[in-house]
Structure 1
């Protein structure tokens, strides 16, 4: 088999396991979050949100962002693996120590000093994440998403199903969320290390070590900007609103971000791993961009547009009436997630083709705009206004990244427009169907919220499937149609032994 064909098959195999694992994690995360939210309530989740905000940004420093070099480099050695793992360990120790020492000041800055003990406990997540990075990226390099996803899936199952929910039922309150996160991260670390078996040892110097650290620096800036774009609004909300409202904001955002994170984590990793190996081939990179530009709107946009249309049924059906104040909030949050999802499909292509510096600058500018827009919106005293401001900035960022990538890969705007039409058609059909379904079922929502939700999911799922089938028939990209057929062919061979694992 040719190297191109072998890479295609490995990519499809990686994507299959990536999305199987992502689907499993999505079910576990959403299921456990729903149960925990029903048990704990908005105030408890508001306290946990403070810790999640801080650890979210701290994790980027702990990871040092150089682990992705293990995927991006053409060749690696045991020395470079040890070098990267050593610097990540050092960064993880420093970040953990900083959080332990300065937790009172950080919690005070966020106007929730009572969250200090939570911050100190969650600081160890940063050290665990730093230790996980090198073996996880080795698995991504080999496109071994089967082992990676199984490890992560087991971690989520143990952490949230076996630890978090029982502790919450026993009355542990917010500490059930803390324990679940720590156990989940620890289990994933053990299983990923066992699968990757990276070389062990400390090494602070290596050939091309300086270039690796520079790459990590640019990746860190990009990742921090990405985090800021996704979480700067939460910092502003934390400082401007009480814990109860912060809890509602956190749960609504988690409902959406859990889905988009699982979709993007696999899609970005597979795309980055595969395109990095053909980054010198301009035609193949251009074809990858056109396929991504067409496939992403077909997959991402209809899902979250449907979620925005059916927001009331989804929120009350999942969390109950005590969370219904988040209905108006879920609409802009869902649309913002769609914009982040679409932007996230372009990012790995830019990284693989050495446009990481430009992408980092775009992220930084977007973060500044988000900070200004959300702060101005928070002054109006409404969390919903903050969410709509975030959606506006996210939309502009996606439009700019799409235009920049098209220009970089020599794609005319007219051709790009043809590749976007399938996604827009799918979204329009799904929104019309979702509106009709919501109008029909909302009168019985309060009487039977769960049944109403299930009926909505089934009917909207059918509408989505029919809409996607229609879009695929009229897709502009042969590669997109071939990719869909490849997934279908893979699923039809489930009875045959899988020798490519």
Structure 2
């Protein structure tokens, strides 16, 4: 792919990724506020208890073949077709298995001191209903891979916005009708269904019969490592909910999930701006070591430019945000949110590092790195749970931050990027974002009206951060502004 074309596709992908995730942030926030006002922490906790099981099942039915499709140098119809039918068949088998295991999941959570005074009788039917989501999702995995591989970011942005609006409306309506956590579960099913339908609409590819599974053999060595890696990632991301559900009350799970939802919304927004372009773009330059390193560092700086002010800003306004949006009943989640904000910047950076290693066809390195981090997290959380929820979240966050050094070690092995170079790419944005937030907190400290305080914090922090970026001559900042103003193409 020519240099100019690659830059244009990357810039366009980043632009549509930003638009899409900005829209998701706005819509998700608005609908999330209404739902949180209607529902209780226990309602969110009931759904949160099942998240890890449904996500692992979803990963198993995909088996890493979707990413393998995107990473193949040459691809034909038979490749998509084999993955499609394999995913559909596997998801049906997984659903039947989980359908009969649902009572055991309920029993796992009931056998704890915290569950003694809780009614978990509806957890089994809720699980059986929620698990339908990954069966429906399997019908669109190959189509998603087609859109992903061809960098159709605009179409994916449209799909996400439509699906989010439709499913959130359904969930909100059911919550208003008194269906509580059933509304949250239905919202998830509706989102997946809309996604799948629209993937088919926008994708040109269609499955056919008969089917040959021979292409899967060629992809298995690569995809099997990604499968194990994705399972570990899902366990790592949901281990706190599982541990809280086992040792604490459902109410506490709901508080954590609410805090994690706000934090994840921000980190996912940043991740989404690069998610649809990182692997295809890095794949196109992986044969040129210096260019590979240059493109990676540019994406790393863009990540830092976006994620640090967003998360530090969320921590700054967390108390006012919770009080105004979802009311005082959720106030206990504020300290958890602030702790999570300190470490959530690692999510898009880890994703970027993993994708770089994957483009070098070293999915084994990604797997063992993820396994190591997961085992460390599980061990640390298990030994820290007697000291309280806040200690568990602090330990979890600290491990995520420290593990970046391991990720950058693997990046160094593949493209020669030294740790100090990565730190130089990240630190200025983190330092300037933190400075902007500290100054904002000091300036606004005398203000007591929470509405005025929230507005001023956002305005002053954004003004200060933008001013600091301009003062210190941030190239990333100038390129983003120039691209948005159509004065020059993004480089």
TM above 0.5, one fold? yes
The question of 1:488 aligning with 2:481 is answered yes
Number of residue pairs aligned between Structure 1 and Structure 2: 480
Relative distance call for 1:347 and 1:169 in structure 2 (3 A) is same
Shift of residue 78 of structure 1? 0.5
Relative distance call for 1:174 and 1:227 in structure 2 (3 A) is same
**Structure 1 residues not aligned, in runs of 5+:** 476-480, 495-501
The question of 1:129 aligning with 2:152 is answered no
Shift of residue 407 of structure 1? 4.1
Shift of residue 388 of structure 1? 0.2
Distance 1:415 1:453 in 2: 36
| Aligned counterpart, 2:24 | 25
Relative distance call for 1:6 and 1:203 in structure 2 (3 A) is farther
| Aligned counterpart, 2:439 | 433
CA offsets, 1:151-204, max 9 Å, x none? 1110110010x2111221121211111121111111111111110132312565
Relative distance call for 1:379 and 1:385 in structure 2 (3 A) is same
- SS at 1:171's partner residue? coil
Distance 2:243 2:210 in 1: 40
Contact 2:87–2:139 under 8 Å retained in 1:
yes
| Aligned counterpart, 1:359 | 366
The question of 1:34 aligning with 2:33 is answered yes
Contact 1:63–1:129 under 8 Å retained in 2:
no
Relative distance call for 1:417 and 1:42 in structure 2 (3 A) is closer
Contact 1:164–1:177 under 8 Å retained in 2:
yes
| Aligned counterpart, 1:118 | 126
**Structure 2 residues not aligned, in runs of 5+:** 111-119
- SS at 1:232's partner residue? helix
| Aligned counterpart, 1:499 | none
CA offsets, 1:56-100, max 9 Å, x none? 222211222211122111111011110111111122212222222
Alignment of 1:273-292 (within 5 A): 273-292=280-299
Distance 1:201 1:144 in 2: 23
CA offsets, 1:430-461, max 9 Å, x none? 232342255233x333xxxx443233222222
- SS at 1:354's partner residue? coil
- SS at 2:462's partner residue? helix
Shift of residue 324 of structure 1? 1.0
Contact 1:292–1:346 under 8 Å retained in 2:
no
| Aligned counterpart, 2:159 | 151
Shift >6 Å, 4+ stretches: none
Shift of residue 17 of structure 1? 1.1
Contact 2:61–2:94 under 8 Å retained in 1:
yes
The question of 1:7 aligning with 2:6 is answered yes
Contact 2:256–2:333 under 8 Å retained in 1:
yes
| Aligned counterpart, 1:467 | 468
| Aligned counterpart, 1:400 | 406
Distance 1:303 1:68 in 2: 29
- SS at 2:65's partner residue? coil
Cα RMSD over matched residues?
A: 2.3
Contact 2:271–2:347 under 8 Å retained in 1:
no
| Aligned counterpart, 2:113 | none
| Aligned counterpart, 1:444 | 449
| Aligned counterpart, 2:380 | 373
Distance 2:422 2:341 in 1: 25
CA offsets, 1:93-128, max 9 Å, x none? 122222222111112213345311111111110112
Distance 1:323 1:364 in 2: 34
Alignment of 1:168-247 (within 5 A): 168-202=175-209, 205-206=212-213, 208-247=215-254
CA offsets, 1:7-46, max 9 Å, x none? 2101111121111111111211122112101101111111
- SS at 2:75's partner residue? coil
Shift of residue 251 of structure 1? 0.8
Shift of residue 311 of structure 1? 2.9
| Aligned counterpart, 2:429 | 423
Distance 1:221 1:194 in 2: 31
| Aligned counterpart, 2:57 | 58
Question: Which residue of 267, 274, 298 corresponds with 1:260?
Answer: 267
Distance 1:241 1:90 in 2: 37
- SS at 2:205's partner residue? coil
Distance 1:414 1:386 in 2: 30
| Aligned counterpart, 1:338 | 345
Deviates most, 428-437 or 77-86 = 428-437
